[in-house]
Structure 1
């Protein structure tokens, strides 16, 4: 009996065949070959199917057309469900592997850390319209914070988008289809309950950034960010705010969305309980002149004072 495939490259696709072709080309040139490609297609036409047919003789490629569009993130989950490899390498159709050694670098990390189940790499942001590029590496202090407390991801996604992640195919972990804005953070926090992440400080993935993406569509929208952040907080527990980075993230969330009352949370779509510390945070911001609140130094200072006065009230 042959050994199972090592890596399943899972690609949730939707119409954008130009981007998908770039990704498939980057897969074609990989020096590491023990992989399969799984494409799950939400497209209303056969454009993705026809493109995949052109690559099926170049490497193992399984194409699945969804009977009806699953959307984000359920189409991601469908690709993971269809995968047969030992490891899952989810890659969005507008992202692609940096060079021919990208997959091999992930495999090298697996071999170096045989007990790890979750890896993530540095990556390159690539603005699709302008061509601007920016390499993204994890700050060492933030990485140490992540290893100490996974909830610090609420203060900033230092791991990056799902395309930079490799995790074990255990058929237990899928992306929560109740959220979109915090979907990757929620997944990482939940997954990392099982073990520590391993960071690969090499740029292995190009991450395409365009105006059409879900993250661009939902940015600074109360009706998206408020319910989803409370959903995540209710999962992690209010004690997560004892970490000053997380506390500051919630301070900035309320400030940036101009939340001035609990009623603002209700009109944004959140109907659950609001912890007294968050109520106090909202009241402090309401009573602070906006011109001062948007001043970075002043805002940090008043946040820190509020944190010192309230951190002992943050219990599960």
Structure 2
């Protein structure tokens, strides 16, 4: 029989962190899950490090040919999922031991919910806490999906957090078209909003995931690329879902998205001064 949850891990040059990531998943209090890991032709020893997990009958290891960036690996590993629910965890992030238990319980209790998300903790390359209980923009509990998607636009930020924070019904994820890759820097937020057009949202106030920050990219050019892609995503979402967003919503969201891109850049510059060069390892979009 298929497991209740599929946890998929797209890995790329994550040798320093991949074992901690997989250990956090395998330590879940909710045990009815499969763990699928796809290494995207890493040039470090990521593939060698994950071999010790091959003997675990919950785990399946695979490789993705080079090319196509993060969307190619995210899609490849997700296609192998068989569970009712889907969670993607990047190869250097962590989830709390009760993450699956609490998210599955929320969605089982609310069958109309297509996506749940928790807050998250931001950590550095050494696992030190940078910021706690981030995300959700004040949303708690059961919310209409369109309300949650609109909230994300008008605050100009991905309120749902990184994929490790999110659990989706796999059938609704597939109905929404899978991972949306038109704007690679916001592949996660695009996808979450597309799914939320199909049902309700549930916000859990607990911090159930940890996102590992990197100062590997913090140029002015990157900040501009990120904000441009967020703005294009806002307008595509509005065009594809009439009545969801007003002109005022778009103006406010676009301006805040541009401002937030530069705030993040300043945060990464600060982080870069605190970290040693070997720690600057994570690219937000794979080459």
Normalising by structure 2, report the TM-score.
0.76
Offset at 1:5?
0.7
* Aligned length, in residue pairs: 253
With normalisation by structure 1, the TM-score equals: 0.69
Name the CA distance, whole Å, in 1 between partners of 2:220 and 2:84.
34
Structure 1 gap segments, 5+ residues each: 259-316
**CA 1:217/1:146 → structure 2, altered by over 3 Å: closer, same or farther?**
farther
Structure 1 residues 124 and 131 mapped into 2: Cα distance closer, same or farther (>3 Å)? same
1:201-256 C-alpha deviation (Å, 9 max, x unpaired): 2111111111236xx56875434532552254134239766264542232345678
Structure (1 or 2) with the greater strand fraction: 2
SS of structure 2 residue aligned to 1:201: strand
Distance, in Å, in 2 between the alignment partners of 1:22 and 1:257 is 29
Note the C-alpha offset of 1:41.
1.2
**Does residue 77 of structure 2 align to residue 79 of structure 1?**
yes
1:97 equivalent in structure 2? 95
What CA distance in whole angstroms lies between the structure 2 residues aligned with 1:256 and 1:57? 44
Which residue, out of 247, 251, 256, partners 1:247?
Answer: 251
The alpha-carbon distance between structure 1 residues 153 and 146, as it changes in their structure 2 partners (threshold 3 A), is farther
Distance 2:243 2:114 in 1: 27
How far off its partner does 1:118 sit? 1.0
> Are the counterparts in 2 of residues 118 and 166 from structure 1 also a CA contact under 8 Å?
yes
Structure having greater relative contact order (Cα 8 Å, sep ≥ 6): 2
CA RMSD of aligned residues (A): 3.1
Among 131, 139, 160, the residue aligned to 1:134: 131
Cα deviation code 1:78-132 (max 9, x no counterpart) = 111111111111001111112x322212222222223322111121111225823
Query: Contact (CA 8 Å) 1:164, 1:205: kept in 2 or not?
Result: yes
Structure number with bigger Rg: 1
> What is the alpha-carbon distance in structure 2 between the residues aligned to residue 203 and residue 255 of structure 1?
25
Shift of the 239–32 alpha-carbon distance from structure 1 to 2, 3 Å rule, reads closer
Aligned 8 A contact 2:38 2:61 in 1: yes
